[in-house]
Structure 1
Amino acid sequence: MRVNISGSTGFVGVNLARYFKSNSCKFVSINLRKPNWKFEIDFEAKAIIHLAGKAHDKKNTSNPKNYFDINTKLTHDLFDVFLASNCRDFIFFSSVKAATDKAEDIVTEETITNPQTAYGQSKMQAEQYILSKAIPQGRRVFIIRPSMIHGPGNKGNLNLLYQLVSKGIPWPLGAFHNQRSYCSIDNVCYVVNQILEREDIPSGVYNLADDETLSTNELIELIAISTNRKARIFSIPKKLINTIAKIGDVLHLPLNTERLDKLTENFVVSNLKIKEVLGIEKLPVTSKEGLVKTFQSFTK
């Protein structure tokens, strides 16, 4: 089996490429930064897997136009190439942020899309373009909306939390109780492989998340276990923390209201639809197993 991958040098791409190699699957890397990237595509391969994109800038310093130039326009161009090719499948990695930035209820594929950030809007517009096109018979198109993907090589917020705990710094937000969905890179690789290997999975929009949710406090405890430390979780009163965060907005401190929301909000993503079409009750890797594997990789 041969596939094309855009973004093969990114976190997800590197892990997916490694998975393909271990399963004797050949892949062609597409570098969308090159002006002549269309000449890199294997038009006879089984699929195009589109991972490349501009990630959400947590510092809010990026020009919003960049998101639409990269996440929206390049997806348009690559999808048009797919329609002109003989590739059977197009797998676009979007984001749950294309649906919503805040999740008061469980996020499903039926959640009405209302992203507020340029990142989420750029992903949503890319999805809308794909869904507006007629798909030729015998071809399939998958829009995957993963929650936060973790695994070896992850350099996002999980790494920052790991650094905090591994240095023995207490976690001060123990009074906040939330539930969040995560997504193991092993489960990502499993689902992509199932889509490519099987012909009975229909086109569509699919959320992707681990089966279990965890609170940030549970995450801190898992990190502590992974580093052979005792979790130091302090339950400072919420009113005091909220006051400090508001001061942080004015004085540009590390803790501000936006960061506090990100660390303590609920964001639960349903994965029932993808499991139903795969005919499984559980994904191969539990959230705790995947997260421990991720944290252990940080020590190497």
Structure 2
Amino acid sequence: MSDGLSGASLSQMPKILLTGGTGFVGLPLLQALAAARYPVVSVTRKNAAITLPGVQSCVIPTLSRDNNWDALLQGVEVVIHSAGRAHIMNETHSNPLQAFREVNVDATLNLARQAAQAGVKRFIFISSVKVNGEETDRNRAFKPSDAPAPLDDYGVSKLEAEQALMVLAKETAMSVVIIRPVLVYGPGVKANFEKMLAAVDKGLPLPLRSINNRRSLVFIDNLIDLICLCIHHPTAANRIFLVSDGNDLSIGQILEKLAVAMNKKSRIFSVPQGLLGLAASAVGKRDFFQRLCGSLQVDIADTRELLGWVPPVSIDEAFAITARSYQEKRHGSHHG
């Protein structure tokens, strides 16, 4: 019986090759796959010394167009490619776009071509909402069918990889699934989300209540649940999926929910957004202010309808898990 995978059906527990198995998404994904008893070949940049049942670990120090994947692809039915050159805040490379292309496009295509030749049935590519763009107008969410509009080199490289993978899917028997997450958070989250956790934890007064933006976020366990669903789901073949928790929040709502999750008094107050913008410009933080106060929403109706997917963890529970992990790491387990 065909399950929509170009006539080739996946066995019950297909062997999976996962790249980026030590990353923020990759490590919990690897743990989830091992817990579900998938046989996994986990490919990482450096030896992570992770021992999980059914997991074979291999080190490939650099992803490039010259990697030979033959031995690692033996018997593999599904590739989940979560490794890549990530968005870099303080770029030092003289040609950043070229550096992103070498890893995110050329190395990805090299792996995908070899996977198709080796008889892999499905290639799941973890892309980014940055392919759609950086910001949405209020009450207008990105859809997978929107014309891509990446604004930075990272987003451009992810788009080029997506386009090349879709061409490969047409030319071979291997189906491709593209997942574009929004900001992923959970235990160990870094960057701006960690800054928000720190600000709420310290009880800093924050003048952000009047900012009427909307942000889509995705909790790590919800993203992993979707990735795992796409391993088998026949309708996922050769499609692009946006993913979020299904609750879009303003920056003020995010901070208030974090305060509740951390058992802290909310110290958020209102200052007109125009004044905040002027103040941010005066101290050279205009870009940061835009990132904080702009809207970025995704419409996950397609993901829900085509896959019958519902985010399993509610946003309140997800914030509680993330906040608890932050406080335990920061204060030990005896925070009061």
TM-score, normalisation: structure 1: 0.91
Opposite residue 125 of structure 1, the aligned amino acid is E
Partner of 1:23: 36
Aligned-pair distance for 1:156? 2.6
Of 17, 21, 42, the residue aligned with 1:4 is 17
Aligned-pair distance for 1:60? 5.1
SS in 1 for 2:218: strand
Aligned-pair distance for 1:283? 2.1
Opposite residue 162 of structure 1, the aligned amino acid is L
Of 253, 257, 260, the residue aligned with 2:289 is 260
Compare 57-66 and 176-185 and name the one that shifted more: 57-66
Cα distance in 2 between the residues matched to 1:10 and 1:40: 23
Aligned-pair distance for 1:264? 0.7
Aligned-pair distance for 1:179? 0.8
Cα distance in 2 between the residues matched to 1:137 and 1:247: 55
Q: Is the 8 A contact 2:100 2:153 kept in 1?
A: yes
Opposite residue 9 of structure 1, the aligned amino acid is T
Of 280, 284, 300, the residue aligned with 1:271 is 300
Compare 238-247 and 101-110 and name the one that shifted more: 238-247
Aligned pair 1:103/2:131, yes or no?
A: no
Of 114, 120, 138, the residue aligned with 1:87 is 120
Aligned pair 1:42/2:55, yes or no?
A: no
Instruction: State the identity %.
Output: 29
Partner of 2:317: 289
Partner of 2:51: none
SS in 1 for 2:69: helix
Cα distance in 2 between the residues matched to 1:79 and 1:40: 14
Equivalent residue runs for 1:135-284 within 5 Å: 135=170, 139-249=174-284, 256-280=285-309, 282-284=310-312
Aligned-pair distance for 1:238? 2.4
Opposite residue 118 of structure 2, the aligned amino acid is S
> Could you list the runs of 5+ residues in structure 2 that have no partner in the other structure?
1-12, 45-59, 329-336
Cα distance in 1 between the residues matched to 2:89 and 2:253: 23
Partner deviation per Cα, 1:10-29 (whole Å, 9 max, x = no partner): 01000101111211122111
Partner deviation per Cα, 1:41-100 (whole Å, 9 max, x = no partner): 233122100001122123455551322222122112111112211211100000010111
Aligned-pair distance for 1:273? 1.0
What's the Cα RMSD here?
1.9
SS in 1 for 2:216: strand
Of 119, 130, 133, the residue aligned with 2:168 is 133
Cα distance in 2 between the residues matched to 1:169 and 1:202: 47
Aligned-pair distance for 1:150? 1.3
Partner of 2:55: none
Cα distance change on mapping 1:83 and 1:166 into 2, 3 Å: same
Opposite residue 267 of structure 1, the aligned amino acid is L
Cα distance in 2 between the residues matched to 1:78 and 1:213: 35
Partner of 1:14: 27
Q: Is the 8 A contact 1:29 1:40 kept in 2?
A: no
Opposite residue 279 of structure 1, the aligned amino acid is G
Cα distance in 2 between the residues matched to 1:176 and 1:28: 46
Compare 265-274 and 32-41 and name the one that shifted more: 32-41
